[in-house]
Amino acid sequence: MRVMVFVPGDKNSEAGKMPSEELVGKMMKFNEDLVKAGVMLAGDGLTPLSKAKRVKFSGSQRTVVDGPFAASKEIIAGYWIWQVKSMEEAVEWLKRAPFDGGVEVTLRPIFDPEDFGKELTPELRAKQQQLQAEAERLRKS
Amino acid sequence: MTATRKAVEAVWRIESARLIGGLVRIVRDVGLAEDLAQEALVTAMERWPTAGIPENPGAWLMASAKNRAIDQLRQRQMQDRKHDAIEAAGLPVTGTDLETAIDENVGDDLLRLMLIACHPVLSMEARVALTLRLLGGLTTDEIARAFLLPEPTIAQRIVRAKRTLTEARVPFEVPRGADLPARLSSVLEAVYLIFNEGYAATKGDDWTRPELCEEALRLGRILAQLVPEEAEVHGLVALMEIQASRLRARVGPSGELVLLLDQDRTRWDQLLIHRGLAALARAEALEQPLGPYTVQAAIAGCHARAHTAAETDWNRIVALYDALVELTQSPVVALNRAVAVSMAFGPAAGLELVDALVNEPALASYHLLPSVRGDFLAKLGRNDEARKELERAAGLAQNARERDLLLLRAKACETRPLS
C-alpha cells in the first residue's frame, strides 16, 4: 500500500525561513534511510503559501485568488509518498522522523484502484463491462 | 490481533534484514543468525506489550539477540572459532555505540545477506524463499501463500537451503571487483523471478499478485542503494518499475487479462513510470556494456513513452530486441523479437521468424509460442490454423486467466468471416 505523509508548516516555514542546519542534517539522514529501505516513492517540500494560488469554482465561474490566504488553518509544508506493507509499518517509520515541538504529522493511506473496484455497484460494473465490450467491438471492426 | 502485535510486526519488517545481516557477520552462520533474530522477536512480543516499544527497537532487538548469542555459545561450549568471532567483532552490547556499530556496517551486512541468500549453490526456488524470508522479513506462511504452495514445502526449502549453505561452507566475505557482478546477477535473477511471479502468475486463478511485485521492487530498490555503481541493478529496477506501472491496466473488471496493446494507458501509474525512466537513465549514465535488464528496461521504456499503442516506436524496439537476442541467446527473447518485427514490418515477417522457432526444444511446451503464432495466422486471415494454434496454447497455459483469454481468442477465429 501507499501512504501519503503530510508535513505541517508553521510561521517559520511560511516566512521562508530554512530550518536549522542540525535539523536539515537529521532530515536528510531520515530521507536517506527511507530511500535505502525502498520505502520512499516521492517526497518534496512546498514553498510558502505566498507563492500559492487558489481557484474557486461556482457554476461556470472560475475565480483565481493569489496566496497567502487569510483563513488557512492547516498549512502543509511538505509531503512524502511511501510504499509500505501496512499502516503500522508507516507509523513505525514516521516515529523515526526528526520532528519535535508538539508538531502533529498526519499519515493517510492512498486509495488503491482496487478500492474503487469494490465500491462499484453491480449496475456500474455492468455498464463498465458494456463500454469495454463496445470499445473492443469498435477496435476489431 | 492486538495493536502492539501489529506494531511489533511492523518493526520486524523494518529491522529484520539488518538484524539478521548483522548477526550473520558476527556468528557466520545464516541458520543460527536467523534463530537468534527470531528469538529476539519472541522476547519482544512478550515484553513490548507491557513495557512499551523501546525508542530504538532495532538496537533493542540487536542487543537482545547478541546477548542470547553469547549465552548460547557459552552454554553449548561451541567451537572457539565462533566465540572468538563474536569477541573479535567487538560490538558494544548496548546504547548508542551499538546503534552506530550496526549502522556503519548495515550496507555491507545487507549486501552480504543478499549474496548469501542467492548463492549459486542454492536452487532458484531456494534462493527465492530464502530471500523473501531473510531480506523481505516474510513469514514462511506468507511466502507459501504468495506462491500457492503448502507451508511445509516452503519451510522445508528454507531449512534445506540453510543446511546447504552450511555444508558448502559458503564464504561470508562480500566479493569485490570482477567477482561481484557475477554474484549479483544471481541476486537479480531471484528478485526478477519474484517480480514475475507477481506480474504474470504461473499458477492460480489470479492473473497478477501485486504484493509480490511490491516485494521484489522493494528488494530491487534496496539493492540499487547498496551497489549504485552496477548498471544492471538500476536496469532491473527500471524494468520492474515500468512493468509495475501497468499492473492495474493489466487486469480487466472481472479479473481477465488485458494485453499491453489493448490496455487503457491512462491507467498506467505515472509515478512508477517516472521512477522507472529515471532508473533507466541512471543505468545508461554508468556507460557500462549494456546488460539484458537494461535493454529490457529500454524496451519497456519505449512502451511507457508512447501515449497510445499506435505511437509505439517499433523500429527502436526491434533494434533493442536484436541486442537482447545477441546478449541472451534465448529462444523466448527471439519469440518476443518476432512480435516486435510483426508490429514493425507486418505479421508475415513475424510468422517467418516464429516458424523458425517451432522446433526449438526449449519452447516445446511454452504456451506463448502457439499463442503468438496463432495471432499472426489470424492477422493473415488463416483462421483455421490460427484457432488450432490458440487452442493448443490454451492447453499449455498454466494460469486460468490466461487460458480463458486464449480460448476466447480461439473462439473469435471461428466467428470471424474469412477475409
List the beta strands (DSSP E) in A10-119.
40-45, 53-58, 61-66, 76-83, 106-109
- Asked if residue B261 belongs to a domain, the reply is yes
In a domain, B123, yes or no: no
Count of alpha carbons within 13 Å of B112, Cβ hemisphere only?
Answer: 22
Residues near B328 by Cβ (< 8 Å), separated by ≥ 6?
Answer: B292
* Averaged pLDDT, B237-255: 92
Beta carbons within 10 angstroms of residue B136's beta carbon: 23
A74 with A85, same domain?
Answer: yes
Based on the domain organization, do A61 and A12 belong to the same domain? yes
% of chain B exceeding 90 in pLDDT: 64
Does residue A47 share a domain with residue A35?
Answer: yes
- Residue closest to B225 by CA, chosen among B324, B110, B79, B85: B110
Residue A94's H or E segment, with its range, is helix A87-95
pLDDT of residue B94 exceeding 50, the answer is no
pLDDT score for A134? 61
Determine how β-strand A76-83 pairs with β-strand A2-8: antiparallel
Instruction: Give pLDDT, residue A127.
Output: 62
Number of domains in chain B: 1
Containing structural domain, residue A119: 112-141
Mean pLDDT rounded to a whole number for chain A: 85
Is the model's pLDDT at B121 over the cut of 60? yes
Q: Comparing B64-68, B103-107, B181-185, which segment has the lowest mean pLDDT?
A: B103-107
**Mean pLDDT, chain B, integer:** 88
Task: Give dist(CA B129, CA B139) in Å, integer.
Answer: 10
Residue B93 has pLDDT above 50, yes or no: no
Using the Cα atoms of residue B10, residue B14, residue B17 and residue B21 in order, give the sign of their dihedral: negative
CA distance B210 to chain A (A): 10
Q: Do A36 and A104 have their domain in common?
A: yes
Does the pLDDT of residue A116 top 80, yes or no?
no
Which pTM was predicted?
A: 0.86
Same domain, A32 and A74: yes
Q: How confident is the model at residue B100 (pLDDT cuts 50, 70, 90)?
A: low
Which of A81, A92, A121 is best to mutate for the B interface (most B CBs within 10 A)? A92
Are B275 and A41 within 8 A, CB to CB?
yes
**A contact test, residue of B1, B4, B218, B226 with most A CBs within 10 A:** B218
Same domain as A38, residue A9: yes
Q: Would residue B244 count as lying in a domain?
A: yes
Q: What is the pLDDT of residue B84?
A: 55
Q: Does any domain span residue B237? A: yes
Average pLDDT estimate for B280-306: 97
Q: What is the mean pLDDT of residues B285-290?
A: 94
- Rounded to whole angstroms, the Cα distance separating B210 from B201 reads 10
Q: How many CB atoms lie within 10 A of CB A124?
A: 12
Contact flag B254-A129 (C-beta cutoff 8 Å): yes
The alpha carbons of chain B give a radius of gyration, in whole angstroms, of 24
B285 within some domain: yes
pLDDT at B417 over 60: no
- Check B11 against A37: CB less than 8 A apart: no
B10 vs A contacts (CB less than 8 Å): 85-86, 88-89, 91-92
Residue-range definition of the domain harbouring residue B289? 175-310
Q: In this structure, is residue B354 part of a structural domain? A: no
A93/B contact by beta carbon, under 8 A: yes
- Residue A35 with chain B: CB contacts under 8 Å: 221, 225
- Among B11, B222, B271, the residue with its CB nearest the CB of A36 is B222
Stretch among B8-12, B43-47, B87-91, B272-276 having the lowest mean pLDDT: B87-91
**Range from B93-97, B233-237, B254-258, B372-376 carrying the lowest mean pLDDT:** B93-97
> Which DSSP symbol is given to B179?
H
- pLDDT: is B184 or B170 the higher one? B184
The better pLDDT of the pair A106, B199 is held by A106
In whole angstroms, what is the distance from residue B183 CA to residue B176 CA?
10
Domain contains B226: yes
The reported pLDDT for the residue numbered B221 is: 97
pLDDT band at A128; cut points 50, 70, 90: low
pLDDT at B74: 73
Contacts by residues B277-280 (CB-CB < 8 Å, ≥ 24 positions apart) = B277/B238, B277/B242, B277/B301, B277/B304, B277/B305, B278/B238, B279/B224, B279/B234, B279/B235, B279/B237, B279/B238, B279/B241, B280/B234, B280/B235, B280/B238, B280/B242
Span B239-254, mean pLDDT? 92
Q: Would you call A113 an interface residue with chain B, using a CB distance cutoff of 8 Å?
A: yes
pLDDT of residue A65: 92
Task: Find the closest chain A residue to B272 by CA distance.
Answer: A41
**pLDDT per position as a tens digit, B360-389:** 998 988 999 999 999 999 999 999 999 999
Residue B30 lies in a domain: no
Q: Are residues A122 and A137 in the same domain?
A: yes
Question: Cβ-count burial of B172 within 10 angstroms (0-12 exposed, 13-18 middle, 19+ buried)?
Answer: middle
Q: How many domains does chain A have?
A: 2
- Minimal CA separation from A47 to chain B, in Å: 21
Query: Average pLDDT of B213-233?
Result: 96
Q: What percent of chain B has pLDDT over 70?
A: 91
Edge-to-edge strand list for the sheet holding A40-45: A40-45, A76-83, A2-8, A106-109
Pairing of strands A106-109, A40-45: unpaired
Question: d(Cα B269, Cα B27) in Å, to the nearest integer?
Answer: 43
User: Is the confidence at residue B340, as pLDDT, over 90?
Assistant: yes
A92:B222 CB<8 A: no
Q: Which pLDDT belongs to residue B104? A: 58
- Give Cα A101 to chain centroid, integer Å: 23
CATH number for the domain that contains residue A101: 3.30.70.1060
Comparing CA positions, the residue from A86, A121, A103 lying closest to residue A6 is: A103
Beta carbons within 8 Å of B349's beta carbon, 6+ residues apart = B341, B342
Same domain, A69 and A117: no
Name the more confident of B320 and B211.
Answer: B320
